[in-house]
Amino acid sequence: MAVRVQREAFDIGAEIDRLRAGRTSVGAVASFMGVMRDFNDGSGVQSMVLEHYPGMTERALESIVAEAGERWPLIDTLVVHRVGELRPSDPIVLVVTLSAHREAALAACAFIMDFLKTRAPFWKKERTPAGERWVEARASDDRAADRWQEGDGA
């Protein structure tokens, strides 16, 4: 289980190779990579700056990854999230889950992203032709995270 917050870009192929190296029980590798778009909310976006809360960010991501590990039989998990200035087509976030079978890998990957979007303290500020603006949170992200609570009986 590894969580990294970094300014540098990452290589999804190299990250996956490193994570699964020597692990012959892995039968499924699921991954999600979020990439910066050049448009949002009806306007072009030239660049963005990602701010975070050092300390809490790592704790929040570790807690989300740990919860995924309790829900599904995972062999390993990697989360990488970038901060600082990003440009269109730059990778922003990477989630990789390893499991023996695809159901666990795919579900855990989606779960981690849904919780990251609503619980990990990152904020995006976009630079558009009309000036800078903070990205507003979306209700659809809250609903995406909420769906994992359904049927828990908690």
Partner 1 sequence: METAHGSVRVLYFARLREAFGTSGETMDLAPGLCTVADLRERLALRGGVWAEELAGSRVVRFAVNQTLCPPAHALSAGDEIAVFPPVTGG
Q: Applying CB under 8 A, which residues contact partner 1?
A: 34, 50-53, 55-56, 59-60, 81, 92-93, 113, 116-125, 134-137
Q: Write the DSSP string, 136-151.
A: PP-HHHHHHHHTTTTT
Closest separation in Å from C-beta 74 to partner 1: 20
Largest CA distance in the chain: 52
Strands (E), the chain: 2-6, 28-35, 39-40, 43-44, 47-52, 74-82, 84-86, 91-99, 122-128, 131-134
Nearer residue to partner 1 within complex by CB, 20 or 63? 63
Nearer residue to partner 1 within complex by CB, 101 or 138? 138
Closest separation in Å from C-beta 122 to partner 1: 3
Nearer residue to partner 1 within complex by CB, 92 or 104? 92
